[in-house]
Structure 1
Amino acid sequence: MRKLLLLIITLFSFNSFSQQATTPDPTKELGVWYMYNGSHQISDKFGLKSMAHFRFFEVGDDMQQFIGRLGANYKFNKNINATIGYAFLNTDETFSITAGDFSEHRIYEDLNVNHKIASLNLAHRFRGEQRFFKSTTGNFFRYQLALSHPIDEKWSTYIYNETFLDFEGEAYNQNWFGTGFKYKVSDIIKLQAGYQLINVNDVGNFNRIQLGIAITTDHRK
């Protein structure tokens, strides 16, 4: 009995050591993003944009990044609007639950242009970002093209692609491609489920499930 107990303890210790010594490859894991996005109209021209994302290396385990955004939005007309805002991020870059966290602050500027071709909705987002982390300043430009199409009164489908350009390092930084479905619960609440492929230059590809809720409020009423 004592020999069996000793063997079990030895095997358990060896397994624990092996798990600690072997660092999983995050590019081979299926991660998930839990997302909140908010749009809050204050007047005919001005509104607020809010966002909170909880991004995990794996489904339900080991949070990779938290990001929160808050911005002031100005509507030029029904097709063009702009946002300037602030974002805070806490990121784990080591694929480890207990190490590697660092905080980041960002200022961002968006120009959004929306239009339609028949029943197809097109959205262009031009984003400038100034990133402050680890005593470093980074300057990025991002362009996203998104297309959406209604399926019926409640359901719609979407596809998008976003490219990142880095003004400090190599010009091409990363690319995000995503697709999925949205469900309109009401005029205020929409739900989203989709998939995103992230390609990071010199690192590899990351596969992510996206589950989100979008809340739109109108405080002019």
Structure 2
Amino acid sequence: MRKIFLALALMHLGMVQAQDTGEDDWGAWYMYFGTNQIAEKLSIHSEAQFRYYETGGNFNQLLLRTGLNYHINSNAIATFGYAYINTDNTFEEFENEVNFKENRIFQQF
């Protein structure tokens, strides 16, 4: 029984060390959000987010969104728009790496 427990414990330790979650690394998000009024109740939403696994590089995600805002009142805005999202699902840089690209419509209130 002790040998089985020891073998399982050693296998578990090897698995824990083999996986890098990136939780202890510093990353960076650079963001821009804008609203440009085009009429009394309408405006254009613009947004760009650049996300990196490390402060100075190692690309993680690019998120670009634009949309049309309808101002219901001074405290409520409904938006309908388009988003382009380019995501790197790994923590490491690889040669010929293929990122996940997404095109979608969105709404928010």
How does the TM-score come out when normalised to structure 1? 0.39
- 8 Å contact 1:93–1:100 — kept in the other structure? no
Partner of 1:115: none
What displacement does 1:97 show? Answer: 2.1
Measure, in 1, the Cα distance between the counterparts of 2:21 and 2:81: 34
What displacement does 1:24 show? Answer: 4.3
What displacement does 1:27 show? Answer: 2.0
> CA 1:29–1:100 in structure 2 vs 1: closer, same or farther (change >3 Å)?
farther
Amino acid at match of 1:106: R
Matches within 5 A, 1:28-177: 28-98=24-94, 99-111=97-109
Measure, in 1, the Cα distance between the counterparts of 2:103 and 2:23: 25
Gapped regions of structure 1 (runs ≥ 5): 1-21, 112-221
- 8 Å contact 1:94–1:100 — kept in the other structure? no
Deviations 1:140-190 (A, max 9, x none): xxxxxxxxxxxxxxxxxxxxxxxxxxxxxxxxxxxxxxxxxxxxxxxxxxx
- Fraction of identical pairs, as percent: 40
Measure, in 1, the Cα distance between the counterparts of 2:28 and 2:48: 14
Q: Which has the higher helix share?
A: 2
Measure, in 2, the Cα distance between the counterparts of 1:32 and 1:79: 31
- 8 Å contact 1:48–1:73 — kept in the other structure? yes
- 8 Å contact 1:31–1:58 — kept in the other structure? yes
- 8 Å contact 1:64–1:91 — kept in the other structure? yes
What displacement does 1:101 show? Answer: 1.1
Measure, in 2, the Cα distance between the counterparts of 1:82 and 1:108: 11
Measure, in 1, the Cα distance between the counterparts of 2:64 and 2:74: 26
Measure, in 2, the Cα distance between the counterparts of 1:100 and 1:29: 23
> CA 1:33–1:89 in structure 2 vs 1: closer, same or farther (change >3 Å)?
same
Q: Which has the higher strand share?
A: 1
Measure, in 2, the Cα distance between the counterparts of 1:23 and 1:90: 24
Deviations 1:41-62 (A, max 9, x none): 0010100000011100111120
Describe the SS at the equivalent of 2:73: coil
Q: What is the aligned length?
A: 90
Gapped regions of structure 2 (runs ≥ 5): 1-17
